[in-house]
A and B are shown apart, each in its own frame.
Chain A
């Protein structure tokens, strides 16, 4: 389908040197506009599939599978109503593949056709801005970290939780001062998996792992709860969206043996952990969101949730906090509200959500070293588009004037 015959860069062929220049052919192919059109078309389809898939899967699962992957297996199911089961899937190039090829296409095309004439400079500027945007998005994908910090009114917090990455933690109290913490990341927590590691005090069989779950009272009337799997939610946790609350059912075995210690359910819903005694040592086992400790803390003075009079429509969410940073000798009050985040020591705090009884706030904490890149590239591309279209518009109008006046 893709040919390089029409590529405008092909120089006027000198008569018959029929020896094919393969490297040039390859370059022409990678720099061709046909390739651009094909890649953009495939990207549209990928984005469309990735949108449909969000009906069943959390957005972060989709981002990982579709947009930050080389190949994605698209289920046929996403095209049909969910009450009709449709099996099977098909492979499709993922975001890294398409984005990477587009980047190559762009760079090659510009190397081949680099031109700073008045007619073309706009195009160069636009595409330079686009490269910046793509690179920025790639860097964000690799380096950006998002987590949540919840604080109750009148108390303070010095850590944030990564709500997308739960971990199974074994905490051993080594002495009064320090704890020894061993964690298993969620990527290892798959149903049916057997986990055995010298750093762990036990061998673990993961019986069930629910990415999102609810807790229900035991159906047989016994005390306690049982976990039930529920569909993933967006996981973006704005004021409206929810977050996934994972649970895991594990069976613990004595190290390198088949002797069973017991079966446990643990969940991020639980505030307390399971207390275990293994080989004379005490451990606390719990599933929790990965924590990131800060060298400073935030004290929540007040959380406000204003509504329009006579309704439940939210008008404003707002946290009044105090930054306590003895290291830098900082102690000041700040107000964090919708669309007005706090930027402090490389991290940005956004008003994201609140405790159900409105006595505490949930702040989204973002650490993204490349956050400024999109701003720059937006300005660059906009300038380029204005230059380019402005130039061709004025040319058309001039031509028209010439046509009318004589």
Chain B
């Protein structure tokens, strides 16, 4: 048995490592049936300039497909999943298949009926050929919608404008307006491919692009590979500063480390839950190992992002969610290291997973490595204020998730022992203290940044207000505990309330559309926020049951307490 305790965790971690290694070394665009023999790996490494950022063509393809279709892959003729770079090659080369690919996502029924399309539940995606017959009508409706002031536009207007923008993005790619692909010797500005289209004396770059695309269209794999590889070598000589950055980014895209980490978090969560039913010790150690491995991937992925961007970890809403998840996982593992009761692992895996899930859904707007607006262009403040305040958010969420766990486990199951409850409550208190420290320091540093950049320490901007609400809420929890106003249950419920406040200040304030900080605008997330708030309120309501009524603490002779 003792042997088992020691070997099982290593075994499980080793299996996870193998699975990870496979994704690191496998040939990415393998032998796809659709375009056999084409070296799309080299093609997708080709550097281009878009939105002010040098990136491999692979990133451009993924981000644009994400804008158009809200996914980074699309379906081929047989329903098989295909990588974005295929789609881009099809569109840019003018392949006939391109206009038949179902990629434009349309969800609203009124938009569908305007475009004379049948609802397509499950897929929601339509091809360019299906949209074009009614394109004139779309343009008319959109120009009418654009005349309204922004607050007066209804959901149909917004969806129409979105569809129009998506079709227009497609048009820009098709007509070689985007991305910028032709470097200019000695200049920072690059040019789009259409700038040289009718020239007889094409530059090397334009020539390479034109012939690559021609060969792709005619199906000449050998010539395509030759041209693409030659061009890549040419660029390595001419623009050495772009390498190996673009290669690293392409590899990063292929490995999808955050997705891998999410899978591992789910595995760790399941292992922890099972450990409370059987094989306690070996399973909980395995769970710890899996979370640790996941943290490793997470950390490397974040470092790679920092290398690619040349910035501190948090630069936009997406990366703030990533960083918050990372901090929460570390805190969870520290708590586990200290208490060794499985609580920290469960918390690390749930918060890590949730943060990555939120980040994944925030990435819909396209490039997550986007360039920074002038006021944000300061690594000092990004590294201090932004990271500190995000750590505060992260710890507040961790405390809130702990509260949810305690209430649910206590009320709905009989597994919560008084000893575990006391221990976990102490950990919750520590987390709130950590959250107060970091949210306070982060908020005040933000004030100092504001004083440096527009001369006002405090401006009552929605984002600032949100941050100070988190600080006050954490202060309330601590004072309530010191004053004996709230005990274990009260602290847990207050911490869950902290979830609501943190979600408001992190995401809700961005939805108001006012203030100097509204850089992370979004609309769809509103419903997610409402659902999250509703869920937390429900758990709070559940937790208002007196402790002696909780299933775990009910005085039943048969209630068997299991040590968790």
Contact = CB atoms under 8 A, between A and B. Distances in A.
Given A50-B465, A55-B512, A140-B458, A314 B374 contact: yes
Nearest to B519: A240
- Does more than half of chain B's interface fall in helix, strand or loop, or is it mixed? helix
A400 B339 CA distance: 10
B433 A41 contact: no
Contacts of B482: 33
Contacts of A377: 444
Interface in A26-51: 32-34, 36-37, 40-41, 43-44, 47-48, 50-51
B444 A381 contact: yes
B111 interface: no
A152 interface: no
A385 B430 CA distance: 13
A350 to B, nearest CB: 5
Interface string B425-457: 010001001101100110011011101111111
B195 to A, nearest CB: 11
B475 interface: yes
Given A40-B472, A309-B188, A313-B51, A348 B516 contact: no
Interface residues of A, number: 70
A154 interface: no
Nearest to B54: A309
Contacts of B504: 48
Which of A51, A308, A314, A341 has the most B CB atoms < 10 Å from its CB?
A51
Given A44-B472, A140-B457, A352-B454, A51 B512 contact: yes
Contact of A54 (B436, B484, B515): B515
A350 B457 contact: no
Interface string B449-474: 10111111111111001101100110
Contact of B455 (A62, A63, A341, A400): A341
A239 interface: yes
Contacts of A137: 457-458
Given A34-B483, A389-B433, A146 B456 contact: yes
Given A37-B485, A239-B374, A378 B469 contact: no
A65 B436 CA distance: 29
Contacts of B381: 339
A8 B430 CA distance: 22
Interface in B491-527: 501, 504, 509, 512-516
A97 interface: no
A63 B381 CA distance: 26
A19 interface: no
B437 A40 contact: no
Which of A309, A311, A364, A381 has the most B CB atoms < 10 Å from its CB?
A309
A251 interface: no
Given A33-B483, A381-B444, A389-B437, A371 B473 contact: no
Interface in A123-145: 133, 136-137, 140, 144
A391 B501 CA distance: 28
6 contacts: A6-B485, A59-B461, A140-B457, A144-B456, A310-B189, A341-B452
Interface of B: 49-53, 151, 180, 188-190, 338, 371, 373-375, 377-378, 381, 426, 430, 433-434, 436-437, 440-441, 444-445, 447-449, 451-462, 465-466, 468-469, 472-473, 475-476, 479-480, 482-485, 501, 504, 509, 512-516
